[in-house]
Amino acid sequence: MLSETNQLLRLSQGHLNLLEACPRKFQHTYLDQLNSPLNPEHEEHQTLGSQFHLLMQQREMGLPIGSFLEADTQLQNWMSGFTNAAPEILTPTDSQTFRESEHYRILQVQDYLLTVVYDLFIADSQQAQILDWKTYPKPQNKRKLEQNWQTRLYLYVLAETSAYLPKNISMTYWFVQSEGKPQSITFNYNLTQHQQTEKELNQLLNKLTNWLEDYQRNQLFPQVPENSKTCNYCHFAAHCARTQASEEYQQNYLPNLANIPEVSL
Ligand code: SF4
């Protein structure tokens, strides 16, 4: 839910992604708080994903996790697959000056508090790495992932809240369920990307400020254009009177696990 701290709205990457995909969907979800229909398959996957994140956190803190792994084969497979694929990530080295799981950062931009939580943050005197665990297969489209606000915001906030230069920052996603063997995608960062993100972020937040002011005057957030494909995958299609999209959603929409956000701990 959108939260407010002393008049500053707290926003995560999920808010920004939704706002960019369709402002009306953002309104229905966070301002009107209309409930999404529950999908048992999504829920089950989210729970398992959360448990994996929790285990990775406990492991990083040096707490025992054996009994949890014994109780769930899926978690056991993910954990052993990741341990084999990336042992260097799980083992601290002398050169690392900082390691923390569930590392939280916050940055104020305009009247908003942008919040990020890194699944694992590793830094040394020169470089800083953000690591993120995903419990679905590696997506085909790297460009789409690069444009996702999780990638853009996580890198941006780190550059703004630390002494590391953009060129010394990276973000790596680990997909623990990729064809039986965990696979990763790494995004390196640079000053040009940082400036571009800053521009796009401010543009989006400017729009949000205007839409929120309009909403106070009972004006609705804008919708995506009629016949937009976005509506075909949206559970508010009936609510928005996007009739054709609503029928398509009911008949054809098969859950795509890659669209399910990981649950933050
Ligand atoms: S149905 Fe279409 S216009 Fe309505 S919230 Fe969903 S994506 Fe936006």
What is the per-residue pLDDT across 150-170, written as a single tens digit (0 to 9) for each?
Answer: 999 999 999 999 999 999 999
The residue contributing the CA closest to ligand 1 atom 7 is 231
Q: What is the structure's pLDDT at 257?
A: 42
Q: What is the DSSP string of 161-172?
A: HSS--GGGEEEE
- The answer to whether the pTM exceeds 0.85 is yes
C-alpha 126/C-alpha 168 separation (Å) is 7
Query: Looking at residue 136, what DSSP letter applies?
Result: S
Q: Which atom of ligand 1 is nearest to the CA of 242?
A: 1
Tell whether ligand 1 has an atom less than 6 A from the beta carbon of residue 157.
Answer: no
Domains and CATH numbers, the chain: 3-259 (3.90.320.10)
The answer, yes or no, to whether any atom of ligand 1 lies below 6 A from the CB of 18, is: no
Q: Is 22 in the pocket of ligand 1 (CB under 6 A)?
A: yes
For residue 9, how far is its CA from the centre of ligand 1 (angstroms)? 23
Asked if the model's pLDDT at residue 36 lies above 80, the reply is: no
pLDDT, tens digit (0-9, with 9 covering 90-100), for 69-87:
888 888 898 898 899 899 8
How many angstroms separate the alpha carbon of residue 211 from the centre of ligand 1? Answer: 16
For residue 237, which atom of ligand 1 is closest to its CA? 1
Q: Residue 210: which residues within 8 A CB-CB, separation 6 or more?
A: none
Residue 84: CB partners within 8 Å, gap ≥ 6? none
Q: What is the four-CA torsion angle of 45, 50, 52, 57, rounded to 10 degrees?
A: 170
The 10 Å Cβ neighbour count of residue 258 is 15
User: What mean pLDDT is predicted for residues 240-253?
Assistant: 66
User: Is 250's pLDDT higher than 70?
Assistant: no
pLDDT in tens, 179-226: 678 999 999 999 999 999 999 999 999 999 999 999 999 999 999 999
Distance (angstroms) between ligand 1 centre and the Cα of 131 equals 32
Task: Give distance in angstroms: CA of 227 to centre of ligand 1.
Answer: 10
Residue 169, ligand 1, Cβ within 6 A: no
**Is pLDDT above 60 for 252?**
no
Judged against a pLDDT cut of 60, whether residue 25 lies above it is answered with yes
Q: What is the torsion angle, in degrees rounded to the nearest 10, for the CA atoms of residue 96, residue 101, residue 102 and residue 103? A: -10
> Is residue 231 within 6 Å of ligand 1 at its C-beta?
yes
Q: Work out which ligand 1 atom sits closest to the CA atom of 28.
A: 5
**131-149: average pLDDT:** 92
Q: Separation of 233 CA from ligand 1 center, angstroms?
A: 9
Q: What amino acid occupies position 11?
A: L
Contacts for 2-7: CB closer than 8 Å, 24+ residues apart: 2/30, 2/31, 5/113, 7/111
